Structure 1
Amino acid sequence: MPAAPEAKFSEETVLWVKQHTPKLITFAISRPEHYRFSAGQFSRLGFRDGAGFIWRAYSVVSAEYADTLEYFAVLIEGGPMSARLADLQAGDRILLDKTATGFLLPERFADGRDLIMLCTGSGIAPFLSILQQPQIWQRFERLALVHSVSFANELIFNQRIAELAQHPLVGEYSSQFTFQTVLTREHLAGALDKRLPELLHNGELATALKLNFSPQHSRFMICGNPAMVKDTFKTLLDMGFAMHRNKVPGQIMMENGF
């Protein structure tokens, strides 16, 4: 007999909500003891909606070992889930699907020396989780995170990324890490100012990261808006890189941001 719908999710408590801009929020919910996920995966969060439910996927920002679950959301005008999240307050209840999913997992790469994480907007979320895992720093010699947004006020995680140098589990590896910001509609000192596909194609990104991209050593993970993911993937293919598949090892993994 199929399990009742309620058996497939738990009801959790919203612990805090922070609104960074009119469209960007982060929030944390209680983590049930049974909930397991791998850094890079996403949760399905939901609300009761009349006689039914409304569900959306959000990548987990938290480390695998964290006591709570943190998420980053971009509020979309007219979006039914965004309307719920816009009114979210500490103490509210939210539904959590009991099964995390997703294949944006760096451990799927069988080899490689440099891990380059490319993202736009909320696509940074899975990489924030990945960067809190000691194993990833031990696995790769160099890690690079590139976050592309439209305006400087959308770079809401810069301070947290800087604080990785003092992180009790990964801080000792901070010399292996490079963080590069990209602004496409505003100029800011230290930030690049073109779309990620163009920065790859013209060599600016490799220069900024001080890395030589090659199929032998470079492994790319891409997460963000579908247009960026599609165009960046095509650019990497043109540069001689290949999609990673379970039975056919390659150098690229990608996922649309949630």
Structure 2
Amino acid sequence: MAAAPEAKFTEEHVLWVKQHTPKLITFAISRPESYRFSAGQFSRLGFRDGEGFIWRAYSVVSAEYADTLEYFAVLIEDGPMSAKFAEMKAGDTILLDKTATGFLLPERFPDGKDLVMLCTGSGIAPFLSILEQPEIWQRFERLALVHSVSYPQELIFNQRLADLKDHPLIGEYLDKFRFIPVTTRAETEGALSMKRIPELLANGSLAAHLGCTFNQADTRFMICGNPAMVKDTFQTLLDLGFTMHRNRLPGQIMMENGF
């Protein structure tokens, strides 16, 4: 006999909601003591909807050791989940699937010296979690995060990334890290502007900006974002001679569509 739906999720409380722009929100929910995930994985979040349920997957922003679970969502016009999020406030109830999943995990790479994380929009979420894990800083010699958005006001995590220097577990390693913001529809001071990540890879300007050379022996790429970006970036890396990482056939690229 199949388990009742209620056996597969817990009811959690919304702790806070922050609206950064009309379309971008972050929020945190209570974390059950039994809930486990690896940095880079995603949760299934849900709401009761009439006689049924509505579920969507969202990458966890929090560190593995955090007491709460934080998420980043983009509100989509006429999206049923977005409509729930738009009304959500502290104290509300939200459903959490008991099992986290996903394979965007840097520990799957068996080797490599440099980890380059490429993302658009909410695709930054898993990398924020990964960057709070001390093991990742000890494992790689250099880490780079490239976050591409349309306009500068969508770069809502710049300060959070800058504050990593004061993080008690990883602050000492920050000399290994470079953050590269990208804005595709506006000229922005301090960012690479008016070009998409695939073009920045293809013309060599991203590597030049990071002051390094991408190569198969040392460089490992993780990609997360909208499907068009993931597809185009993956193809660009293939054209540059990199290959998809598979458990039985190690490569240099891992990717996942953002949620």
| TM-score for the superposition, normalised by structure 1 | 0.99
- Please report how far the alpha carbon of residue 92 of structure 1 lies from its aligned counterpart in structure 2 after TM superposition: 0.2
- Please report how far the alpha carbon of residue 13 of structure 1 lies from its aligned counterpart in structure 2 after TM superposition: 0.1
* Structure 2 counterpart of 1:168: 168
Instruction: Kindly indicate whether residue 80 of structure 2 is the aligned counterpart of residue 80 of structure 1.
Output: yes
Which residues of 2 match residues 1-258 of structure 1 at below 5 A?
1-193=1-193, 194-258=195-259
- Please report how far the alpha carbon of residue 51 of structure 1 lies from its aligned counterpart in structure 2 after TM superposition: 1.0
Amino acid at match of 1:87: E
User: Could you tell me how far apart the structure 1 residues matched to 2:7 and 2:170 are?
Assistant: 37
Amino acid at match of 2:229: M
Structure 1 stretches (4+) deviating beyond 4 angstroms?
none
Q: Where does the alignment leave 5 or more consecutive residues of structure 2 unmatched?
A: none
User: Could you tell me how far apart the structure 1 residues matched to 2:47 and 2:156 are?
Assistant: 26
Amino acid at match of 2:88: L
User: Could you tell me how far apart the structure 1 residues matched to 2:143 and 2:137 are?
Assistant: 7
Question: Identity across aligned pairs (percent)?
Answer: 79
User: Could you tell me how far apart the structure 1 residues matched to 2:228 and 2:25 are?
Assistant: 22
Q: How many pairs does the alignment contain?
A: 258
User: Could you tell me how far apart the structure 2 residues matched to 1:4 and 1:195 are?
Assistant: 45
Q: Secondary structure at the match of 1:40?
A: coil
- Please report how far the alpha carbon of residue 190 of structure 1 lies from its aligned counterpart in structure 2 after TM superposition: 1.7
Q: Where does the alignment leave 5 or more consecutive residues of structure 1 unmatched?
A: none
- Please report how far the alpha carbon of residue 181 of structure 1 lies from its aligned counterpart in structure 2 after TM superposition: 0.4
- Please report how far the alpha carbon of residue 3 of structure 1 lies from its aligned counterpart in structure 2 after TM superposition: 1.4
| TM-score for the superposition, normalised by structure 2 | 0.99
